[in-house]
Amino acid sequence: MAFSINDLNYEKDSKERMPWEHYTEEFQKADPAEIAGRLSIPYDEETKQLTLKFLGTVYHISWPDFQVTHEKDDMGFYPLEEMIYAKILTIRFLLNGNNSQGSGRFKTYREMPWGEVYLRQFDGRCIKRLAFTYGNRLKDFKGIMEHIHAAPVDHGDIAYQVEIFPGYLIQMILWEGDEEFPPSSQILFSDNFPVSFAAEDMAVMGDVIIGSLKAFLKCSLKKLRTGWDLFL
């Protein structure tokens, strides 16, 4: 069954239209050992759990029922347990993805195969959303990125690199606004993304990451307050 961005009703956020049942059925039919071998991730035959790192957190995913739990860390928010978009992206990656490393080059969404088809949606929901939410809040953006252990990169006024799945890297770049120009942003993908992801996946992926930033900010501020309380 082909995955269409319309399945996620990208413009209206209608969760009811997501083909979740289809993907869970496909997952139940899949061979977890084959998934683990193809993606080079651990699989425990005894507990029937796959182990996968997603946005910096290590998750355990049970087969065949796709129950997700996380290993204890300091993130405080766990999108793979909380966000249906993240679950669909992950189950599709498990079913169709491949172990891959990029060449070190990064590409814009437009440069990806079929990227222009969903460019308008990606630009509105991801690029503009990132710019206008954090383009004049670089300190908050920095705090979030440090909280999720993202790596700083030398682009724009501030930029960080995150690993969404093992080997698949995303760079988020911000230019601060001023009196003459509004803030702007760019999101780059490591050049191996087409090995495992269609343009539709990548559009929703950007939405998942940016949608998680607010929750991560709350967690980072809470951790900071706790640290000050202990200091005092």
Hunting for tokens 């930029």 — which residue is that?
159
Q: Which residues of the chain have pLDDT under 70?
A: 1-18, 224-232
Q: What is the pLDDT of residue 230?
A: 42
What is the DSSP annotation of the chain? Answer: ----GGGGTTTTT-GGGS-HHHHHHHHHHS-HHHHHHHHT--EETTTTEEEEEETTEEEEEETTT--EEE---S----HHHH-HHHHHHHHHHHHH-------S-EEETTTSTTGGGGHHHHIIIIIHHHHHHHTT-HHHHHHHHHHTTPEE-SSSSEEEEEEEETTEEEEEEEE---SSS--EEEEEEETTGGGT--HHHHHHHHHHHHHHHHHHHHHHHHHHHHHHHHH-
- The first and second tokens of residue 142, run together, are 């920095």
Cis amide prior to 64 (ω within 30 degrees): yes
What is the model's pLDDT at position 231? 42
pLDDT score of 16: 39
Q: What is the pLDDT of residue 17?
A: 47
Cβ atoms within 10 Å of 224's Cβ, excluding its own: 12
Query: How far apart, in Å, are the Cα atoms of 156 and each of 143, 184, 217?
Result: 17, 9, 21
